Structure 1
Amino acid sequence: MQITLNRKDNSTVALISSEGIVINNVNDALDLMANVRYQECDKMILRKEQITDDFFELKTGFAGEILQKYTNYQMRVAIVGEFTGYNSKSLNDFIYECNQGNKILFKSTEDEALAALHQS
């Protein structure tokens, strides 16, 4: 895994690069957040392929647990990828609701994610 920082004005976003899954469980998510915080950053972008598929099965509670911890520790996150392939109304509603705020975002492209995270 590699963390690259993208800076714009007074805003810094951590871009997470990895060929494999970075978040398999809650401890992985907390370790990643600690690594990003160590870079003096409170915003990050992950690709959906870097997160275990359990995250996108809302009935597991995995997404809620991780995103609640990130929100509590004031870590803003954008998850980048194509989400239309999921045939889950609850997941689509969840993504819609997240995108109404500015803490947890689901975006189609890295450029959209960077723009949103640098904005505020």
Structure 2
Amino acid sequence: MNIRKITENGIEIAIVDSNDILIYDTQSALDLIATISYQTGADRFILSKSAIDEKFFDLKTGLAGEVLQKFINYQAKVAVVGDFTIYSSKSLKDFIYESNHGKNIFFLPDEQQAIDKLSQI
């Protein structure tokens, strides 16, 4: 895992690059939040979709809700970057739509859009 910190509009954002799955359960999400916060001091994160276990995107597992609640509880804002058009689940599409219209969790197609979104809120 490589963590880069950038500052955009005076806001620090941690960009996490990893070839490994970093979030596969609630504890791994908590560990990631703690690691990023400790190493960077940032409370806004950008993660690649590939760093999150695929079961996260099957809403029936409950993993997405549990993990995202941890980010909210620890006052961390996160943008997940990747191609979400590959999913056919209407529930997931609605979940992503609602998240993108909130203030804490975003699902965006690329890193620049994630930086733009996290540096505005």
Q: TM-score range by the shorter chain?
A: over 0.9
Could you state the TM-score of these two structures normalised by the residue count of structure 1?
0.97
- The number of equivalent residue pairs is 120
Deviation, structure 1 residue 119: 0.9
Report the counterpart of residue 113 of structure 1 in structure 2.
114
Please give the residue correspondences for 1:42-53 in structure 2 after superposition, counting only pairs within 5 Å: 42-53=43-54
Could you state the TM-score of these two structures normalised by the residue count of structure 2?
0.96
Partner letter of residue 16 of structure 2? I
Deviation, structure 1 residue 20: 1.6
Question: Once the two structures are aligned, what percentage of the paired residues are identical?
Answer: 47
Secondary structure at the aligned position of 1:68 is classed as helix
Unaligned runs of 5+ in 1: none
Please give the residue correspondences for 1:1-120 in structure 2 after superposition, counting only pairs within 5 Å: 1-38=1-38, 39-120=40-121
User: What do residues 77-103 of structure 1 show as CA deviations (whole Å, max 9, x unaligned)?
Assistant: 000001011010000000000001120
Unaligned runs of 5+ in 2: none
Q: Matched residues in 2 for 1:4 and 1:82: separation?
A: 22
Deviation, structure 1 residue 117: 0.2
Secondary structure at the aligned position of 2:6 is classed as strand
Deviation, structure 1 residue 63: 0.3
